[in-house]
């Protein structure tokens, strides 16, 4: 039986900012006479599940039974996202309201004839400022409902408003009930005291603790301070080409070297892959170190793919075999 067979039974709830990763591909041959800018001749568009939706897509690609909780606007990107969720077999508990757009990142990629397309510009759309109280309360209710039967909860917080005081309160209550909660928060990790797993990258660890994170010893000191402050069971620190480190109270750090080539093709969404894989393994009741090992392999695989991407169970098994 596959080492990952248990993944198919794990019920995962992903809370966070559901982002439409919108790629616009084009060809450029000349500079505009109106301004010193390149003219891009449109070729095609592609929309992928990004942000917390990418974490959900990764958990699903690895075999999990996934529900995503967040915001989706009644707009073109929102409709595209719902279609992608349905196609991939991901359940959606999304709040929609008047004047609330779908969070989106449009990347314009262009190049000359017979050349690869390179990113020229990114245009972000989404809500500015805190969400209305009624929307925040509705999100909290959707999360509470979705998590009643969850084996593990993932928080993928990109700072776009879905992870708010109301939803964080529900997250803390879920953790107190004994359900594993794995958190990846770009700006507000300090608000998640008492959850199971926190996954900062090195800059986020530095921002959380106010300590330097250049050397191994500095990362260890900052991680110890973060563990004490957060009260989590495990701190998973990702360090780019320096791999990742697993910390838990009373245990020596476990350092994992990068899986595969050190030079990444594209790191877009790699953190989503790592947290989704780790959470799925925890939901399958695998030990934390084994979960970290699987997450490290998945992260090494996904950064060799262009754009927002996922890792399949077959690819992860292949990585384990190597």
Domain that residue 304 falls in: 5-20+49-104+127-321
Domain membership flag for residue 74:
yes
Cα→Cα distances 95→102, 135, 242, Å:
11, 7, 39
Per the annotation, the verdict on 272 as an active-site residue is yes
Domain membership flag for residue 115:
no
Domain membership flag for residue 33:
no
The first and second tokens of residue 84, run together, are 């992608």
Q: How many separate domains does the chain show?
A: 1
Domain membership flag for residue 39:
no
CA distance 258 to 239: 9
307 CB neighbour count, 10 Å cutoff: 16
Task: Select which of 151, 157, 184, 272 is catalytic.
Answer: 272
CATH number of the domain where residue 89 is located:
3.40.1190.20
Domain membership flag for residue 43:
no
pLDDT tens string, the chain, 322 residues long: the values are 477 899 999 999 999 999 999 999 999 989 999 999 999 999 999 999 999 999 999 999 999 999 999 999 999 999 999 999 999 999 999 999 778 899 999 999 999 888 889 999 999 999 888 899 999 999 999 999 999 999 999 999 999 999 999 999 999 999 999 999 999 999 999 999 999 999 999 999 999 999 999 999 999 999 999 999 999 999 999 998 899 999 998 899 999 998 888 777 677 778 999 999 999 999 999 999 999 999 999 999 999 988 889 999 999 999 988 7
134 DSSP 8-state letter: H
Most distant CA atoms of the chain, gap in Å: 65
- Return the SS3 of 257: coil
Domain membership flag for residue 56:
yes
pTM for the structure as a whole: 0.94
């Amino acid at each position: 039986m596959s080492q990952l067979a248990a993944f198919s039974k794990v019920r995962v709830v992903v809370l966070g900012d559901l982002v439409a990763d919108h790629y616009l591909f084009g060809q450029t041959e000349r500079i505009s006479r109106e301004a010193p800018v390149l003219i891009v001749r449109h070729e095609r568009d592609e929309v992928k599940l990004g942000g917390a939706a990418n974490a959900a897509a990764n958990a699903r690609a690895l075999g999990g039974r996934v529900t995503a909780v967040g915001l989706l606007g009644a707009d073109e990107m929102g409709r595209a996202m719902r279609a992608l969720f349905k196609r991939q077999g991901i359940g959606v508990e999304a709040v929609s309201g008047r004047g609330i757009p779908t969070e989106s990142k449009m990347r314009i990629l262009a190049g000359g004839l017979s050349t690869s397309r390179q990113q020229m510009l990114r245009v972000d759309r989404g809500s500015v400022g805190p969400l209305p109280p009624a929307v925040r309360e509705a999100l909290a209710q959707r999360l509470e409902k979705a998590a009643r039967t969850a084996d593990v909860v993932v928080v993928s917080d990109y700072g776009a408003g879905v992870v708010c005081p109301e939803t964080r309160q529900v997250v803390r209550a879920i953790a107190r009930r004994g359900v594993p909660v794995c958190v990846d928060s770009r700006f507000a990790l300090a608000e998640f005291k008492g959850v199971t797993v926190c996954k900062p990258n090195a800059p986020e660890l530095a921002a959380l603790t106010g300590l330097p994170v250049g050397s191994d010893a500095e990362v260890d000191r900052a991680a110890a301070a973060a563990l004490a402050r957060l009260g989590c069971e495990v701190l998973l620190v990702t360090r780019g080409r320096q791999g990742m480190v697993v910390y838990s109270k009373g245990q020596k750090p476990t350092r994992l070297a990068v899986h595969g080539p050190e030079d990444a093709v594209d790191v877009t969404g790699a953190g989503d892959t790592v947290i989704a894989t780790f959470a799925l393994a925890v939901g399958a009741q695998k030990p934390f170190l084994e979960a970290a090992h699987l997450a490290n392999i998945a992260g090494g695989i996904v950064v060799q793919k262009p754009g927002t991407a996922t890792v399949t169970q077959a690819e992860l098994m292949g990585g384990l075999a190597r």
